[in-house]
Structure 1
Amino acid sequence: MRYRLTALVLLSFAVPAAAQERIDTVLARAMTAGKTPGLAAAIVQDGKVAWIGTYGFANVEAKRPVTRRTEFHIASTSKPFSTVLLMQLHAAGKFRLHDDINQYLPFSVRSPALPDEPVTFEMLLQLRSSIRDNPTCYRPLWSGGNGDSPIALGDFLREYLSAEGEDFSKENFFERAPGSKYTYGNTCFALIGYLAERISGKPFASYSEEALCDPLGLRHTHWFLAQTDTLNVALPFQTDGSAGYRPVWHGGFPDWPAGQLFATFLAAYTNNGRWDATQVIDSASIELATPRSPVGLGGRTWTVRAAPTPDAGRPQLLYEHAGGVVGGQAVVAFNPITRDGFIVLANSDGLRLNIKPIMDALQIKAHRPRR
């Protein structure tokens, strides 16, 4: 998931000093190993932002430190945000999961290998749509350093997915039936965002503000670089073998609902959708996307991290999503039962973060679902 997050400006609550010291150590080691100039982290506990930490520089040359108001590109961790926005419309009865998405689009989406097989919302959300990210098309778009994309979301998807489109190719689809196999892909999430736009009747960025950002008080939350104060945005740094890292300019993508947002909503998400005594996110949407038992998992927006426990060998459950772009990385993870979670943002693509030491420092216990 490519997505941007700021909003580490919320009221924070105390985390034990010993845990903070352990987290400081984990993050400092990761920054040194990954040659990362700047980093911000937040801990969520019991539906509240419990701790915020900032480290290093948002801009090395200007010696501008990372602060709680520094905005980061959080890459693909925006995908859960886009999914929630679509699922809000499902909760309102605007579409059904088994509907053919073509009923809601101004162009047709069909695999050239199986043109009679529909793609449903459920297939799209489960990343089983047979839609593929064609590297020939995407590689130049993801190279970074070009600012916001001048291509409108709907235009990009029409040219890529419609048989009449200039960028259409059989390589944009897998030669298998929709619904048959999971494959992670950015195009699916861009289409999720565009479907939310079509169904809501509002531009996706505007619908995002109205449905989630404003209710959550995210006043410095943006999909586009042009909406930000660039002096407040962490400058991306790309890993360089000789110098360690080198600065690159901010880049944007035509498939931006797949990962180009400044926001945080993990606290509300872990609190069953409630924020400041208001039900902002429909709780049924949360349960569909991240059920408390992995059995019958409805979607694949989040990675389900499972590992054997020493005592009984049962699977642990932790929802996680990571993202990376040229000059930036992010990771979000949480336990749906204990409502503990954390966010780490970095302005370098060299960070290699192991989440287990953070879980250990926070004493987060991954939930073991009953059999």
Structure 2
Amino acid sequence: MKKVIILFLILAISISIKAQSTNDSITIELTKLSKNSNLVGFGVAIVNKDGIVYAKGFGYAHKETKKPYTIHTAQPIASISKTLLSVALMKAQEMGKLRLDDNINNYLPFKIYNPNFPNENITIQQLANHTSSILDGDSYDRTYVFENKIPSFYTNFSDKDLKVEVKKWIELFNTNKIMPLGEFIKKQYVKDQTWYNKEQNFSNKHPGNTYKYSNMGANIAAYIIEQTTGENYAEFVKEHILHPLQMNNTGWRGKNYEPKNVSSLYWYGYPMPDADLITYPDGNLISNVIDYGKFLSTMIRGYKGEDNLLTAESYKEMMKDPVSSDFRKGVFWTVDSEKIGHSGNDLGLLSHAYFLRENGIGIIVFVNTSDTENGATEVRDIYRTPLKYAEKQ
């Protein structure tokens, strides 16, 4: 019996040493990438169905004060926010509040239809897999509302075309005003409203036939959750996702949540003032790699057939293979032959969160910088570093 115990201890120690050696190798490689990049700071985590197996921060949360970016540093994660919207939709369906195959106009207080196909229904499922034919028009950019005016940092640019482009965006963002989500939707997609535009806001393809990524489609889905449950969307997510998973430093700024250890965001290398989004369900969720790691680990267990936040059947429906490779999405989740997850990008941030279908290893990368020289390539290299480990498991 003693020999068995000794052998078990030797095996356990060997596994622990190997894991530590792998983690050290990942840290060394990511540290090198951080030092040689234009990215201010980022966090990386690796998870499996049992939890987080690696987490580390690199660079700075605040470049000006040299405050380190750690595993507890929180930042907006852009469109990865839609993965929580997916779970919220499935939860509302389990509660009997809606069905994904339902016509969206069964629940909206105003009618939305594609004027090119006025007699065709748009379903919640089509919103969720981005085939609804609802498009993001120019008015979508009115969603950004900054706490303070964005400085005119574009005056430092030597590229004249870039200077003109960024000036245009900053001038627009600095005039935006906050409004309720429902009003923002109505202004764009209900005929004769202020920002209604047939050409910009609606596809000339039949609903359900063609994939076209749509942030506003996601916001309509979140608004339907509000209409059917009688709860504010942020509160619904908090009740059914954040609290059960103890994601204690995750939420939307100003909606009964004030982030701790929040990072600055750097757009073209310049710090941005804090921002709210009118369309907060499609993005702007603030989290860190530890909190989101809890969520992604839970999703992996659900994909593997475990009931937890949702039933195993709901997970199966939520992460099902698209009907064709042209569609790309299940219920807001990106689903391909190798991985399931989502990515995001916005002013001053880039983010990735995926797990491998074969072995259930997940990778999270949150970056507080965007639109720097070689930034997209640098973020790709950061993601590929833990991916090399994940693919070997």
State the match for 2:141 in structure 1. 139
TM-score by length of 1: 0.81
State the match for 2:54 in structure 1. 51
State the match for 2:189 in structure 1. 161
Are 2:275 and 1:251 equivalent residues in the alignment? yes
State the match for 1:16 in structure 2. 19
Shift of 1:321: 1.4
Aligned-partner SS, 1:232 = coil
CA displacement, residues 248-299 of structure 1 (integer Å, 9 cap, x when unaligned): 112222111101212421111111179xx982233222211223x6667872
State the match for 2:330 in structure 1. 299
TM-score by length of 2: 0.77
Structure 1 residue corresponding to 2:364, chosen from 318, 338, 343: 343
State the match for 2:96 in structure 1. 93
Are 2:356 and 1:328 equivalent residues in the alignment? no
Alpha-carbon spacing, 1:215–1:231, altered in 2? closer, same or farther (3 Å): closer
The answer for unaligned runs of 5 or more in structure 2 is: 1-15, 150-175
Q: For 2:389 and 2:356, locate their aligned partners in 1 and report how far apart those are by CA, in whole Å.
A: 15
Amino acid at match of 1:269: M
Q: For 2:248 and 2:226, locate their aligned partners in 1 and report how far apart those are by CA, in whole Å.
A: 21
CA displacement, residues 190-228 of structure 1 (integer Å, 9 cap, x when unaligned): 111111111111010111111111111122221125655
Indicate conservation of the 8 Å contact 1:41/1:345, yes or no. yes
State the match for 1:224 in structure 2. 253
Amino acid at match of 1:101: I
Aligned-partner SS, 2:302 = coil
Rg (Cα) greater in structure: 2
Amino acid at match of 1:184: Y
State the match for 1:285 in structure 2. 314
Shift of 1:237: 0.8
CA displacement, residues 2-61 of structure 1 (integer Å, 9 cap, x when unaligned): xxxxxxxxxxxx781232233224433543454111111111112311221111211111
Amino acid at match of 2:366: L
Aligned-partner SS, 1:323 = strand
State the match for 1:188 in structure 2. 217
Are 2:388 and 1:360 equivalent residues in the alignment? yes
Q: For 1:226 and 1:298, locate their aligned partners in 2 and report how far apart those are by CA, in whole Å.
A: 29
Q: For 2:392 and 2:93, locate their aligned partners in 1 and report how far apart those are by CA, in whole Å.
A: 32
Indicate conservation of the 8 Å contact 2:130/2:329, yes or no. no
Q: For 1:153 and 1:335, locate their aligned partners in 2 and report how far apart those are by CA, in whole Å.
A: 34
Aligned-partner SS, 2:217 = helix
Aligned-partner SS, 1:116 = coil
State the match for 2:12 in structure 1. none
Indicate conservation of the 8 Å contact 1:111/1:173, yes or no. yes
Indicate the percent of aligned positions where both proteins have the same amino acid.
26
Indicate conservation of the 8 Å contact 1:73/1:329, yes or no. no
Which has the larger displacement, 226-235 or 175-184? 226-235
Shift of 1:141: 3.5
Aligned-partner SS, 2:84 = helix
Once the two structures are superposed, the pairs formed by residues 98-109 of structure 1 within 5 Å of their partners are 98-109=101-112
Aligned-partner SS, 1:106 = coil
Q: For 1:217 and 1:149, locate their aligned partners in 2 and report how far apart those are by CA, in whole Å.
A: 33
Amino acid at match of 2:301: N
Indicate conservation of the 8 Å contact 1:143/1:326, yes or no. no
Are 2:124 and 1:121 equivalent residues in the alignment? yes
Indicate conservation of the 8 Å contact 1:131/1:187, yes or no. yes
State the match for 1:75 in structure 2. 78
Aligned-partner SS, 1:199 = helix
Query: How many residues in Structure 1 have an aligned counterpart in Structure 2?
Result: 334
Indicate conservation of the 8 Å contact 1:131/1:172, yes or no. yes
Shift of 1:344: 0.8
Give the RMSD, CA atoms, in angstroms: 2.8
Q: For 1:359 and 1:104, locate their aligned partners in 2 and report how far apart those are by CA, in whole Å.
A: 42
Amino acid at match of 1:261: L
Q: For 1:99 and 1:229, locate their aligned partners in 2 and report how far apart those are by CA, in whole Å.
A: 36
State the match for 1:236 in structure 2. 265
Alpha-carbon spacing, 1:122–1:295, altered in 2? closer, same or farther (3 Å): closer
CA displacement, residues 107-146 of structure 1 (integer Å, 9 cap, x when unaligned): 1111121111110112111111000001x21235448665
Alpha-carbon spacing, 1:249–1:228, altered in 2? closer, same or farther (3 Å): farther
Which has the larger displacement, 155-164 or 125-134? 155-164
